[in-house]
Structure 1
Amino acid sequence: MSAIYEGPEGSAEPVKVLITLHEGMDAMDVVGPLEVFSWARHDKKNPETKAFTVSFAAAEEHTVSAQGASFRAHMTFDEAMKRLPEVDLLVIPGGGTEKILKSKAQPLALIKKFAEVQLKDPGRERTLMSVCTGSFFLAEAGVLSGLSATTHPDFITKLEILCSNVTLRDMADRCDVVEQRYVVNNLRFDLGENEDENPYIMTRKELKEAKRRKSSLVSPPSPIEERSNGTDGARRPSGARKGSMSWKASNTRRESVLKRSNLRLGGLRVLSTSGVTSGIDGALYMVGAMVSDDAAEEVARVMCHKWIKGMVVDGTDV
């Protein structure tokens, strides 16, 4: 099995993604994010500017999904444990969770180790993302303590019970389980001097007020107004940065590192998504955060997918 793919020579440093595989997983939980990250470019006209590289880790070379599809891993879990410090984004698919939870098997140890890596090294911005019932693994590993999370609507109650049991087991803070398309904790640490001027999220009260104002307009906002204010005419103006340049800066700026070190899990961004196809939307959020909103919108266009936004703690993604 090969190591993590580094991308074409001379290209911008790609975001290194590692997706775990386990028997009985849902294929779309893997393929959805894989498709998104495979299409993302820093420059949509230049195929050599791939923004992400993706690798698979599993217990065996071949892993069969619940749908009968076989996936081939690039590395074993043992190899992945050693390579975690260089991983920027760890993606955990759902499906077939019962056996893993009962046996305390991988990827539970991998998830715990990834969180520990971030705590020890907050100088690098890292993200942990789950798809569908993959959030059960995050809960069992204890990383959802004090955070908010979601899962497939049919499994919300089960996740609440699991999180309650983990809270008692670890004597830790509870997890706030919500029903959303996706939920982002520790979203971005380099969005300007004033946290209250983050243009990429709005509180629910602000969103409600923005929608009220929009519905009361005599004429709809112009395309220029929509672009400057956000897709719903509501985005707050700000000079804050977002995307690849901001991501690179957040790994080098002393202020960003200090801020991360004071957050839960050393500033590890934790993103959980709802049912199967929501993994596409969560992955698009990551393209928007790590590259640009324009890049994410282009990927959605190429995939003929309508990007459904979720929430960030404590606000609504716009």
Structure 2
Amino acid sequence: MPPPSRPRTPRTPRTPPPPITAPATHPGPGRAPSRGGLGRPWKGTTVSVPEGTIPYRQARAAQPAALERVARRLAAQLGTPGAFPAAVRPVFAGIGASHAALALPVALLGEAGFAARRVLAGDLPPGPVFDSADLVLGVSQSGRSPETLAALALAGPERAGALVNAVPSPLAAAARWSVDLGDEPDSYASTVGYTGTLVGLTMLARHLEGWDSARALAEWAGTAELLEEFEEVLAPVVAEVTAHGAHVVAADFVGSGASLGTAEAGALLLREVARVPATALATRTYLHGAMESAGRTLHVVLGDGREGELARSLARAGHLTLAVTAAPLAAEGTLHVVRLPGLA
């Protein structure tokens, strides 16, 4: 592979292959066969709401107001003297959607000159994983993830922190420092819990950067109104993608930096909620071979850099593509674009 300073120009992806027969059965237990693309659930599938959770649509509708509550609660907690220690080499640990969320604070702190990193709690490398860390922050919406609990135990109580939603929780109890989202009601697919975790991780990153709680809270002013307006902009684009997605049997999510975490969370959400096989990859990794299997696939490309060219290349080869970007990218053919709102 060429060095990063000389990235190769990707080959134009091949045109979609002829239609193939979709899998006859759903891989999950107890699921009935036959599915037909995006927006069309597995026939015979019954959707139940697990005890202690709320329906997915209800959780989505609750997000705007919930995120403003979460921001206010975290500002109050972080404004307490000694709430969290100063740290320049923090390590964030989580699994599943919580691990995906960790890409955001790592990117923010990296931009500020911190040696921050994230680790997958369920697959820690051998050796002294946390020796160089001055803070190990375990993240789990439920506060019960056994892998994250084990990672925090490995780090030791003297430098263990936690961010959770559920109150009380074993993870918070095992940490020397902890903050929580306020036990917000959530869906099984971790809707408000995930987006609230992003708010919490951002505010924690700002705290480590030296921001006071009032300044960190001000960054989230108007969140509810912005999200409600964005939903109106988003709805017709999603409807178009769904309408053109009857042939889709899988989805690729692609991004870099903080957007890689969004890609990971998006792929997981599509698997959990829509039951569509989905994979997340870093942009440059995708360009080095992974995109060659394009065909009967939805491509969700997130980012403002090389991702724009990638999205155009995929769409011009006839592939259904959704670009999520703040860059001035125009929709064309099979390329659909969600423009992220500008932030002051």
Is the TM-score greater than 0.5?
Answer: no
TM-score (norm 2): 0.25
TM-score (norm 1): 0.27
